Amino acid sequence: MPVDLNKKKAKAVLAGLHLPHESEFEHRSSMDELERLVTTLGFETLGRVTQKRQRPSVAGVFGKGKLAELASWTGGTGVIHGFGKGSDDEDYEDDFIESDVDDDDLERDQATIVIFDSELSPTQLSNLEEALGVEVLDRTGVILEIFSRHAQSREARLQVEIAKLAYMAPRLRLSHVGGDRQGGGIGAKGAGESAHELDRRRIRDRIAELKNQLKAIQVEQDNRRSHRKDVPLVALIGYTNAGKSSLMRKLTKTEVEGENKLFATLDTTIRTMQPETTPRILISDTVGFIKKLPHDLVASFRSTLDEALNASLLLYVVDGSDPNFKSQYEVTRKVMAEIGAEDHPSRLIVNKSDLLSEIDRARIQRDLPDSHLVSSRSKDDLNRLRDIILQVFEDEMNDFEVLVPYEKGGVIGKIRARARVLQESYDEVGTTLMLRAKPETQAWIEKQLS
Ligand SMILES: Nc1nc2c(ncn2[C@@H]2O[C@H](COP(=O)(O)OP(=O)(O)OP(=O)(O)O)[C@@H](O)[C@H]2O)c(=O)[nH]1
Ligand SMILES: [Mg+2]
């Protein structure tokens, strides 16, 4: 990350464009979400500056006047060198100006960082830092930093590192703030090659190296996955902070609650549902979704989501107390469809019902009659959810009878681990078992006995 984010309590101003295709509600929600992301990083938010425009200005996102207003928060000049000469400035729309800034706000002039809700081009980033005199980050930068702090496994760390380098490469040498933020002097000048190009090339090489390391880990994981193939797997999928990890922990009896920060989970964890069933059911918890997720990051985390493709059941978890939960659900479904999971059996779990009024609950049940309204804090709800999961697998299972001759008695242990024994009886030939299992398991058992 080019920006030094380890400073004590950075004071941030949030900047956002309100584009014509966005409703007032969407615009505000997006800014609210940015504020939560920024809070997750530990920054204090001083205020917001927003502007209605037909499109972002190529030079600096905002128009001239709005940029000057933004600069009054940071003590910058508000001027981009050469701004106003290009044709770009002509679409600047003064009549559309809108601002959330309270004029007698005491904290003006104190912001140490400005955070834009949209993705900034390298030129915009550089221009904005020039005009504002402080560090500027975009939404992608914020998300990358959160991912970077939360990544724990080697796989997640590699994925984040690759995404960060890909994000950083085009932004090298364009910065105006802080002399040595561009990679600590890695750029000794080569013959006929600028330091800038050299750095970029090194970054490309490093990305290639990291990708190789990642591939090795993923091969290992694919192996592990194929071992688990006929064990039923339930994947918890959903927007960040919806409560996936909390549900996972309760369903698998690891009692710790989730954390109230965005992207608390980056790694896929898999545990056995408790109390254990036969055959046992595995539950996986995955990385959360968010709107405007940086492309590099989506690509990097795709392998994590691929785990979900192996699942027999997807539980889409939403936070029912979030006014945006429907659009968050749509974003999630869209990404899952992109990875080819749209036809997977799934259920919609509307979580955090404890935070809802009776009226809200009734409304959700009316609008989404197929959804299951739960709270991860209610024992009854968790039992209900467990029954829902069991029922799905039950519906996929057949009842059948097998005769295990005594000379093949060794197979019985394996059968018990994979299928539910409904009844058993013994005679002079062997053991007769009445079983309930999935068709694949039935085929496997019959093969063992043939
Ligand atoms: N009131 C209430 N809070 C809940 C419930 N379930 C989870 N939470 C809280 O919501 C926050 C997020 O929960 P997590 O389980 O970490 O959410 P997640 O979906 O795993 O989030 P990411 O890992 O960021 O994708 C935590 O503060 C939880 O305590 C619930 O049913 N009711
Ligand atoms: Mg989580």
Q: Which of 112-116, 335-339, 424-428 has the lowest mean pLDDT?
A: 335-339
Given a cut of 90, is residue 96 above it in pLDDT? no
Complex ipTM tops 0.95: yes
Residue 211's alpha-carbon distances to 143, 218, 293, in angstroms, are 21, 10, 20
Query: Taking Cα atoms as reference points, which of 302, 289, 308 lies closest to residue 236?
Result: 308
Task: Say whether 429 counts as a known binding-site residue.
Answer: no
Q: Which of 3-17, 54-68, 272-286, 428-442 has the lowest mean pLDDT?
A: 3-17
Q: Region 227-242: what's the mean pLDDT?
A: 84
Given a cut of 90, is residue 3 above it in pLDDT? no
What pLDDT was estimated at residue 363?
97
Task: Say whether 351 counts as a known binding-site residue.
Answer: yes
Substitution candidate for ligand 1 out of 147, 250, 257 with most atoms within 8 A of CB: 257
Given a cut of 70, is residue 417 above it in pLDDT? yes
What pLDDT was estimated at residue 20?
94
SS3 51: strand
Q: Region 341-354: what's the mean pLDDT?
A: 94
**Cβ atoms 360, 326 nearer than 8 A:** no
Q: Region 89-113: what's the mean pLDDT?
A: 55
Q: Sorting pLDDT into bands at 50, 70 and 90, what band is 108?
A: low
Residues with Cβ within 8 Å of residue 357, at least 6 apart in sequence: none
Across the chain, mean pLDDT equals 83
Which ligand has its closest atom nearest to the C-alpha of 351? 1
What pLDDT was estimated at residue 194?
66
Tell me the C-alpha distance between 399 and 195, whole Å. 70
SS3 434: strand
Q: Where are the domains of the chain?
A: 11-82+109-146, 151-173+196-227, 230-394, 397-449
Q: Region 427-437: what's the mean pLDDT?
A: 93
Tell me the C-alpha distance between 40 and 446, whole Å. 54
Which protein residues touch ligand 1 with a CB less than 6 Å away? Answer: 238, 240-246, 257-260, 262-265, 288, 351-352, 354-355, 375-377
Query: Taking Cα atoms as reference points, which of 79, 8, 93 lies closest to residue 51?
Result: 93
Q: Region 348-353: what's the mean pLDDT?
A: 98
**Cβ atoms 12, 37 nearer than 8 A:** no
Given a cut of 60, is residue 175 above it in pLDDT? no
Tell me the C-alpha distance between 185 and 191, whole Å. 17
Substitution candidate for ligand 1 out of 149, 152, 245 with most atoms within 8 A of CB: 245
Tell me the C-alpha distance between 128 and 130, whole Å. 5
Tell me the C-alpha distance between 336 and 377, whole Å. 27
Tell me the C-alpha distance between 230 and 312, whole Å. 10
What pLDDT was estimated at residue 83?
58
CATH of domain 230-394: 3.40.50.300
**Cβ atoms 184, 173 nearer than 8 A:** no
CATH of domain 397-449: 3.30.70
**Cβ atoms 71, 131 nearer than 8 A:** yes
Number of Cβ within 10 Å of residue 226's Cβ equals 9
Return the amino acid letter for 12. A
Same-fold call for 11-82+109-146 versus 230-394: yes
**From the CA of 127, how far away is ligand 2's center (Å)?**
37
SS3 421: strand
Which ligand has its closest atom nearest to the C-alpha of 319? 1
Nearest CA to ligand 1 atom 32: 352
Fold topology of 11-82+109-146: Rossmann fold (3.40.50)
Q: Region 270-284: what's the mean pLDDT?
A: 87
**From the CA of 321, how far away is ligand 1's center (Å)?**
11
Instruction: Encode pLDDT of 35-93 as tens digits.
Output: 999 998 999 999 999 999 999 999 999 999 999 999 999 999 988 886 554 334 444 44
Instruction: Encode pLDDT of 6-51 as tens digits.
Output: 556 899 999 999 999 999 999 999 999 999 999 989 999 999 999 9
What pLDDT was estimated at residue 89?
45
Q: Region 271-300: what's the mean pLDDT?
A: 81
Substitution candidate for ligand 1 out of 237, 247, 376, 381 with most atoms within 8 A of CB: 376
Tell me the C-alpha distance between 145 and 143, whole Å. 5
The reported pTM is: 0.79
**From the CA of 95, how far away is ligand 1's center (Å)?**
42
Given a cut of 50, is residue 185 above it in pLDDT? no
Q: Region 339-359: what's the mean pLDDT?
A: 94
Environment class of residue 115 by beta-carbon count within 10 Å: exposed (0-12), middle (13-18) or buried (19+)?
A: buried
- Distance between the two ends of the chain, CA-based, in angstroms? 60
Task: Say whether 287 counts as a known binding-site residue.
Answer: yes
**Cβ atoms 113, 66 nearer than 8 A:** no
Which atom of ligand 1 has the smallest separation from the CA of 238? Answer: 19
Which ligand has its closest atom nearest to the C-alpha of 143? 1
What pLDDT was estimated at residue 150?
81
Nearest CA to ligand 1 atom 10: 243
Instruction: Encode pLDDT of 291-323 as tens digits.
Output: 777 666 776 667 667 777 888 899 999 999 999
Given a cut of 70, is residue 4 above it in pLDDT? no
**For 278, which DSSP code?**
S
What pLDDT was estimated at residue 92?
42
What pLDDT was estimated at residue 107?
54
Sign of CA dihedral 334, 336, 339, 342: negative
SS3 75: coil
Given a cut of 80, is residue 124 above it in pLDDT? yes
Strands 430-437 and 420-426: antiparallel
3-state DSSP helix/strand/coil percent for the chain, to nearest 5? 45, 20, 35
Helices (H), 151-243: 154-168, 195-227
Task: Say whether 353 counts as a known binding-site residue.
Answer: yes
**From the CA of 264, how far away is ligand 1's center (Å)?**
9
Task: Say whether 288 counts as a known binding-site residue.
Answer: yes
Task: Say whether 245 counts as a known binding-site residue.
Answer: yes
Tell me the C-alpha distance between 414 and 322, whole Å. 46
